[in-house]
């Protein structure tokens, strides 16, 4: 049987190799949910075919956003909802990354560090896109926080999917060129200035063992070039949500990357981006694997996915009606959640059909 994050945590806890008592409240809940997910301890439900009586037993999932077993269905539901807000225009992928010098502060006050990352990257995109020198329009974009590198190290960054156009001062749609409309160096410099200014006014140096270290970190960050990365525009509007969903419901590591768990050692695959993205293997003690995984549990009530510009939540539906008209985007109608369709997409088979008799499982599905 293939090992998963869930099975590793259960085994290591039973063997007293990991100690969840030192975790914060949010991390303890994540640990507890992961250990119980899809086990008898979490309850079950029975799917019975009304035609032949065939039964399938399903153990309940925990639905925790940090659980590797629970993301497929939630990702599909999210994707289906977001399809209603994609416009007939091109989109860009932009990534804002914090320098490693800020990792110490992120471990001490993650909520502040990650909130500033969201706020300053969003302000940078909005300010420059509204500048007539670059686009001169109000854009819409979705930002997703990732805090991990491929090897589970701390690597805070946000992925932003940005519309290739927006509304100008006259309320007309203004489309950008196929090349991203803001120079990377300009974005990097503005983002760096905004972030460090916000950090100096918000972070409490007394939280460090030596308060003088704070100014040293700030100085190091000013000396560095900050990384803002852009990718080529996406092929078509339908591709946008599929692309974005790769990032929205990711967690620190997926079960597919785990190779083995033997004698307290976890081995997994990772991409070494410093070596031409080569696939490599890494082995960690289960204690270090546990520590790194829990390091990426977001702060309490922290939203990892945020919408900005014309995708902001206030009056969004009314605003989108106008934008669809301006961009010749078909009206998608009213959203209705179809769980049979969702699960069928995830499992890549029609779950309304009984695997035993081949008929519809329930008359209501006809």
- pTM beyond cutoff 0.85: yes
| Per-residue burial over 203-218, b = 16 or more CB atoms within 10 Å of its CB, e = otherwise | beeeebeeeeebeebb
How far is it, in rounded angstroms, from Cα 189 to Cα 187?
6
Closest to 145 (Cα-Cα) out of 96, 216, 211: 96
Pairwise CA distance, residues 13 & 16, whole Å: 5
Q: Hey, CA dihedral for 296, 299, 300, 303, is it positive or negative?
A: negative
Distance CA(203)–CA(102), nearest Å, equals 12
Taken as a whole, the chain contains a residue count of 366
Q: Is the pLDDT of residue 235 over 70?
A: no
Q: Where are the beta strands (DSSP E) in the chain?
A: 44-48, 55-59, 91-97, 140-148, 154-163, 165-167, 173-175, 228-230, 258-262, 265-272, 278-285, 305-309
Measured CA to CA, the distance from residue 152 to residue 141 in angstroms comes to 27
Q: According to the model, what pLDDT value does residue 361 have?
A: 66
Residue 287 has pLDDT above 50, yes or no: yes
Place 273 in a pLDDT band, splitting at 50, 70 and 90.
confident
CA distance 279 to 259: 13
Condensed to tens digits (0 to 9), the pLDDT of residues 35-67 reads 999 988 888 888 788 778 787 787 888 889 999
Q: Take residue 266 and report the two structure tokens written for it.
A: 């976890």
Q: Assess whether pLDDT exceeds 80 at residue 196.
A: yes
Cβ atoms < 10 Å from Cβ of 18: 23
């Amino acid at each position: 049987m293939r090992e998963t994050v869930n099975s590793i945590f259960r085994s290591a806890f039973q063997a007293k190799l990991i100690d969840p008592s030192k975790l914060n409240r949010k991390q303890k809940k994540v640990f507890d949910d992961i250990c119980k997910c899809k086990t008898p301890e979490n309850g079950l439900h029975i799917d019975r075919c009304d035609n032949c009586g065939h039964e399938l037993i399903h153990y309940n999932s925990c639905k925790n956003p940090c659980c590797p077993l629970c993301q497929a269905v939630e990702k599909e539901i999210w994707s289906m909802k977001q399809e209603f807000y994609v416009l007939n225009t091109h989109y860009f992928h932009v990534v804002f990354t914090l320098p490693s010098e800020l990792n110490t502060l992120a471990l001490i006050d993650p909520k502040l560090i990650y909130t500033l990352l969201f706020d300053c990257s969003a302000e940078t995109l909005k300010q420059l896109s509204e500048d007539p020198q670059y686009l001169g329009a109000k854009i819409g974009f979705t930002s997703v926080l990732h805090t991990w590198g491929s090897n589970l190290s701390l690597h805070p960054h946000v992925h932003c999917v940005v519309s290739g156009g927006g509304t100008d001062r006259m309320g007309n749609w203004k489309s950008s060129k196929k090349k991203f409309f803001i120079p990377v160096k300009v974005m990097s410099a503005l983002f760096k200035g905004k972030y460090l200014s916000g950090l100096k006014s918000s972070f409490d140096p007394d939280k460090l063992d030596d308060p003088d270290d704070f100014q040293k970190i700030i100085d190091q960050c000013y000396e560095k070039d900050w990384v803002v990365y852009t990718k080529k525009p996406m092929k078509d509007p339908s591709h946008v949500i599929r692309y974005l969903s790769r990032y929205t419901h990711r967690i620190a590591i997926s079960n597919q990357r785990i190779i083995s768990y033997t004698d307290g050692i976890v081995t997994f695959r990772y991409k070494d981006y410093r070596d031409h993205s080569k696939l490599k293997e890494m082995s960690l003690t289960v204690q270090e694997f546990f520590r790194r995984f829990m390091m990426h549990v977001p702060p309490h009530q922290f939203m990892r996915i945020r919408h900005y510009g014309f995708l902001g939540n206030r009056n969004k539906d009314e605003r989108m009606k106008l934008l669809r008209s301006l961009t010749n985007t078909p009206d998608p109608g009213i959203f209705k959640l179809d769980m049979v369709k969702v699960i069928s997409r995830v499992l890549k088979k029609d779950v309304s059909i009984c695997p035993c008799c081949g008929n519809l499982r329930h008359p209501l599905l006809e």
